[in-house]
Amino acid sequence: MRVFLDASAIIYLLEGDGQTRDATRQVLLELERGSDETPVLMASALSRLECRVRPLRESDTQALERLDGFFDDPGLSVIALDTAVLDRATELRAQYRLRTPDAIQAACLLTVDPRGAFVTGDGDFEKVPGLHVYRIPH
């Protein structure tokens, strides 16, 4: 099973308060328990950009190190923003009026594995048919 973490899920997991981190971990544990196979974690190249902005602005080197370690982990599959992803994102943006970053995030998973789990803290993704959204309560 492929489990895609959008930027909000990554931020909650690595930078959130204790309650938010626990809620994110709980969603991931439930996905793992519900699958016969070991989950493969995925994120988009866009998430690397989105997640690193605040720590860069605030010169938070510890947060940057945590994020860079996460994105550089060989167990994480990072989805590139290729033509197929961007074309699918354009369709999603046009059809469902998603913000461009959200359309790109959804397109990343739908292009690579439409059956995968999409973990997010954002409710806007629930309007995308075929996207299996697992929302983190916060």
- For 53-102, how does the pLDDT look when each residue is reduced to its tens digit (9 = 90+)? 999 999 999 999 999 999 999 999 999 999 999 999 999 999 999 999 99
113 annotated ligand-binding residue: no
Which option is the CATH number for 2-81+112-135: 3.40.50.1100, 3.40.50.2000, 3.40.640.10, 3.40.50.1010?
3.40.50.1010
Give pLDDT, residue 138: 78
d(CA 136, CA 8): 9
Helices (H), the chain: 7-15, 18-33, 45-57, 61-72, 83-96, 100-112
Give pLDDT, residue 35: 87
Give pLDDT, residue 133: 98
72 annotated ligand-binding residue: no
Residue 40: its H or E element: strand 40-44
Quote the DSSP letter at residue 59: T
Q: Where are the domains of the chain?
A: 2-81+112-135
d(CA 78, CA 48): 9
Chain centroid to Cα 65, Å, comes to: 19
